[in-house]
Structure formats: structure tokens, C-alpha cells
């Protein structure tokens, strides 16, 4: 996410933001979208924290047990 960090710092500069607002508002809008976008890994980690999971990102406790338990339950 090097580009995201650079754009965040660049757009955070009031002189740059002012210039973009006057000369290229559509570009500023796209930069703001990049700044506010989370990566898939960040989104999965956030979701896991909200659900109270302790396993790897995106893996629920049911997934962590593996398919063997599903077969035994049938």
C-alpha cells in the first residue's frame, strides 16, 4: 500500500488539495476513493475482529475444524 500512503500524504497537504480542488476535482475525488479504500486483508481482519474470531483472517471457527467434522456429523 505504498501508493495509498503517498497519496494520503500528498492530498493531506493543504496547498496540493486546494490546487486539485481548483484544477482537477475529478482527480481529487479518485484520490479520496483510494485513500478511503481498505485492502482485502484489512477488511478480513476487521471483520474477524468484529465477529470476535481468533483464527486467521477470513477463517471461521467452523472452517478451522476442517471437513472431517462435517462428515462425522452426517
What ranges do the domains of the chain cover? Answer: 1-48
pLDDT tens digits along 16-63:
999 999 999 999 999 999 988 877 888 888 888 888 865 555 555 555
For residue 44, what are the CA distances in angstroms to 31, 35, 36, 58?
23, 18, 16, 5
* Model pTM score: 0.54
Amino acid at each position: 500500500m505504498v501508493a495509498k500512503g503517498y497519496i494520503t500524504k500528498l492530498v493531506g497537504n493543504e496547498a496540493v488539495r486546494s490546487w486539485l480542488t481548483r484544477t482537477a476535482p475529478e482527480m481529487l475525488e479518485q484520490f479520496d476513493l483510494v485513500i478511503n479504500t481498505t485492502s482485502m486483508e484489512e477488511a478480513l481482519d476487521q471483520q474477524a475482529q468484529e465477529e470476535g474470531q481468533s483464527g486467521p483472517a477470513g477463517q471461521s471457527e467452523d472452517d478451522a475444524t476442517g471437513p472431517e467434522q462435517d462428515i462425522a456429523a452426517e
